[in-house]
Structure 1
Amino acid sequence: MFPKLFSPIRLKGLELKNRIILPAMGTKFTTDSSMTDQLIDFHVARTKGGTGLNIMECTGVHAPSTPGRFFSIAEDKYIPGFKRFNQAIHEAGGKTCIQLWQGSIAVASDPKAMIIVASDMQLSPEYTVPGASHELIAELTECFGQAARRSVESGFDCIEVHMAHNYILHSFLSGGINRRTDEYGGSLENRARFPLAVIRAIRAQMPEDMPLLMRIDAHDDYLEGGLTIEEVIQFCKWAKDAGVDVLDISRGNIISAALKYEVPPIDLQWGFNIENAARIRQETGMLTIGVGRINDPAFAEEILESDKVDMVVIGRGQIADPEFCNKAREGRVDEIVRCVGCNQGCYDANERADIPFISCLQNPACGHEAEYAIVSTDAPKTVLIAGGGMAGMELASILKQRGHNPILFEKSNTLGGQFILAGLAPRKAEMKAAAIHRGQQLQKMGVDVRLNTALTPAVIEEIKPDIVVNAAGAMPIKLKVPGAELANVYSYPEILQGERIPDGHVVVIGGGLVGLETAEYLLHNGCKITVIEMLDTIGADLGSTRKIIVMENLYGAGVDMLTSTKCVEIKPEGVVVEHEGKTEILPCDAVAVAVGAQSTSLPELEECCHRLGIEYHCIGDALKPRRAIDATAEAAKLAHAV
Structure 2
Amino acid sequence: MKYQKLFSKGKIGNLELKNRIVMPAMGTGFASFNGEASDELIRYYEERAKGGCGLIITEITRIDDETGIGMSNQLTATSGKYIPRLTRLADAVHRYDTKIFIQLHHPGNETYSRLLGGRQIVAPSPVVCKVVGEMPRELTTAECEAMVKKFVTGAVIAKNAGIDGVEIHAAHGYLINQFISPHTNKRTDKYGGDFYNRMRFITEIILGIRYTCGQSFPISVRISADEFIDDGLKLEDGIKVARYLESLGIHAINVSCGTYESGHTIIEPSFMEEGWKKHLAKAIKKNVKIPVIAVNTIKHPAAAEALLEEEVSDFVGIGRGQLVDPQWGNKAKYGKEELLRKCIGCMYCFKIANQGRPLACTVNPILGRETIYNDKNIVKDGEGKTVAVIGGGPGGMQAAYVLAKRGFHVVLFEKEKVLGGTLNVADRPPHKAMITELIQTQVAELRVQGVEIQINTEADVDTVKALNPYGVIVAVGGSPIVPNVPGIDGPNVCTAEDVLSGKVSIEGKQVAVIGGGVTGLETSEVLAKENKVTVVEMMNEVGTSLYASVRGALLKRLAAAGVEILTGHGLSGVSDREITLSITETAHSEKRKADIVVLAIGVRSRKKLTDEFEKAFDKVTLVGDARKPGLIAEAMREANDKAFVF
TM range (shorter): over 0.9
Deviation per CA, 1:440-486: give whole Å up to 9, x if none: 33123310111011221112322121111110111221233223233
The match for 1:175 is: 182
Partner of 2:126: 120
The 5-angstrom pairing of residues 408-487 of structure 1 reads: 408-487=412-491
Q: Equivalent residue for 2:251?
A: 245
| Contact map agreement 2:478 2:603 (CA 8 A) in 1 | yes
Residue 404 to residue 203, structure 1, CA distance change in 2 (3 Å): same
Question: What letter matches 2:20 in structure 1?
Answer: R
Mapping 1:560-575, distance limit 5 Å:
560-575=564-579
Is 1:190 the counterpart of 2:197? The answer is yes
In the aligned structure 1, how far is the partner of 2:411 from the partner of 2:232? 57
Instruction: Please name the residue that 1:2 is paired with.
Output: 3
**1:221-243 deviation digits (Å, cap 9, x = unpaired):** 2x220111101111111111123
- CA distance change for structure 1 residues 589 and 401 in 2, over 3 Å: closer, same or farther? same
Aligned to 1:522: 527
Residue 270 (1) aligns with residue 277 (2): no
Distance (Å, rounded) in 1 between the aligned partners of 2:613 and 2:268: 47
Judge conservation of contact 1:260–1:549 (CA < 8 Å) in 2.
no
SS of aligned partner of 1:100 = strand
Amino acid corresponding to residue 381 of structure 2 in structure 1: D
- Distance of 2:461 and 2:490 partners within structure 1: 36
- The range that moved more, 86-95 or 111-120, is 111-120
Alpha-carbon offset, residue 398 of structure 1: 1.1
Q: Distance in 1 between matches of 2:52 and 2:116?
A: 39
Contact 1:145 1:204 in 2 (8 A): no
| 1:214-233 map, 5 Å | 214-221=221-228, 223-233=229-239
- Once the two structures are superposed, the pairs formed by residues 376-415 of structure 1 within 5 Å of their partners are 376-380=379-383, 381-415=385-419
Per the TM alignment, residue 189 of structure 1 is displaced from its structure 2 partner at its CA by 3.3
Choose the corresponding residue for 1:61, options 56, 60, 63: 63
Change (3 A) 1:113 1:90: farther
What CA distance in whole angstroms lies between the structure 1 residues aligned with 2:278 and 2:401? 35
Find out whether 1:601 has 2:599 as its counterpart. no
Tell me how far apart the structure 2 counterparts of residues 186 and 529 of structure 1 sit (CA, whole Å). 52
Displacement after TM superposition at 1:585 (Å): 2.3
Q: How much has 1:192 moved relative to structure 2?
A: 2.4
SS at structure 2 position matched to 1:562: strand
3-state SS of 1:106 partner: coil
What secondary structure is seen at the aligned counterpart in 1 of 2:212? coil
Q: 2:129 and 2:6 mapped to 1: Cα distance?
A: 46
Amino acid at match of 1:19: R
* Residue 244 of structure 1: how far off its partner (Å): 2.1
Residues 154-195 of structure 1, C-alpha deviation per residue, up to 9 Å, x if partnerless?
111111010111211112222233344544344433332323
Q: 2:173 aligns with which of 149, 163, 166?
A: 166
Match of 1:98 in 2: 102
Return the letter of the residue paired with 2:23: L
Distance in 2, matches of 1:336 and 1:122, equals: 42
Q: Is the 8 A contact 1:386 1:455 kept in 2?
A: yes
Number of aligned residues: 632
The residue matched to 2:91 in structure 1 has which SS? helix
> Residue 152 of structure 1: CA displacement?
1.0
* Mean Cα deviation higher: 18-27 or 559-568: 559-568
TM-score (ref. length: structure 2): 0.93
Q: SS of 1:143's equivalent?
A: helix
2: distance between equivalents of 1:307 and 1:383? Answer: 51
Match of 1:153 among 139, 152, 160: 160
1:477–1:597 CA contact under 8 A, matched in 2 = yes
Contact 1:575 1:588 in 2 (8 A): yes
CA displacement, residues 368-389 of structure 1 (integer Å, 9 cap, x when unaligned):
2121112352353321111000
Paired residues of 1:32 and 1:68 also in contact (CA < 8 A): no
> How many angstroms apart in 2 are the aligned matches of 1:587 and 1:606?
41
For residues 558 and 442 of structure 2, what CA distance do their matches in structure 1 show?
32
Pair 608,247 (structure 1): closer, same or farther in 2 beyond 3 Å: closer
- 1:4-403 correspondence to structure 2 within 5 Å: 4-30=5-31, 31-65=33-67, 66=69, 67-108=71-112, 110-112=115-117, 114=119, 115-121=121-127, 128-221=135-228, 223-254=229-260, 256=261, 258-344=262-348, 346-353=349-356, 356-374=357-375, 375-380=378-383, 381-403=385-407
Percent identical? 31
Is 2:511 the counterpart of 1:509? no
> Amino acid of the residue matched to residue 105 of structure 1?
N
Tell me the C-alpha RMSD between the 2 structures. 2.1
After TM superposition, give the deviation of residue 616 of structure 1 in Å.
0.8
How far apart, in 2, do the equivalents of 1:152 and 1:382 lie? 53
CA contact (8 A) 2:339 2:441 kept: no
Q: Which runs of 5+ in 2 are unaligned?
A: none
Distance 1:638 1:507 in 2: 39
Whole-Å Cα distance in 2 between the matches of residues 176 and 86 of structure 1?
37
In structure 2, how many angstroms separate the alpha carbons of the residues matched to 1:142 and 1:100? Answer: 12
Read off the aligned partner of 1:513 and give its amino acid letter: V
TM-score calculated relative to the size of structure 1: 0.94
What is the CA–CA distance in structure 2 between the aligned matches of 1:433 and 1:478, rounded to whole Å? 31
Residue 305 of structure 2 aligns to a residue in which SS? helix
Other structure's SS at 2:217 match: coil
Distance 1:467 1:127 in 2: 55
What's the offset of the Cα at 1:508? Answer: 2.0
Tell me whether 160-169 or 365-374 shows the greater mean CA deviation.
365-374
Q: How many angstroms apart in 2 are the aligned matches of 1:174 and 1:521? A: 41
CA distance in 1, matches of 2:464, 2:422: 25
Determine the C-alpha separation between the residues in 1 that align with 2:569 and 2:146. Answer: 53
Moved more, 562-571 or 403-412: 562-571
Segments of structure 1 that go 5 or more residues without pairing to the other structure are: none
- Tell me which moved more, 553-562 or 238-247: 553-562
1:628 is aligned to 632
CA distance in 2: counterparts of 1:608 and 1:283, whole angstroms? 66
| Mapped contact 2:220–2:254 kept (Cα < 8 A) | yes
How much has 1:437 moved relative to structure 2?
Answer: 2.9
Paired letter, 2:49: T
Is 1:495 equivalent to 2:499 in the alignment?
Answer: yes
| Structure 1 residues 536 and 369: CA distance shift in structure 2, 3 A | same
Question: Which sits farther off after the overlay, 271-280 or 13-22?
Answer: 271-280
Question: Which amino acid in structure 1 is aligned with residue 495 of structure 2?
Answer: S
Deviation at 1:21, TM superposition (A): 0.6
Instruction: Flag the 1:295–1:205 CA change in 2: closer, same or farther, 3 A.
Output: farther
Q: Distance in 2 between matches of 1:622 and 1:110?
A: 39
- Residues 396 and 297 (structure 1 numbering): CA distance in 2 closer, same or farther, change over 3 Å? same
Per-residue deviation at 1:620?
A: 0.7
Contact 1:490 1:502 in 2 (8 A): no
Q: Distance in 2 between matches of 1:376 and 1:331?
A: 28
Deviations 1:340-382 (CA, angstroms, capped at 9, x unpaired) = 22222x22221124xx311222221211212111235235332
8 Å contact kept, 1:476–1:597: yes
Of residues 449-458 and 189-198 in structure 1, the stretch that sits farther from structure 2 once superposed is: 189-198
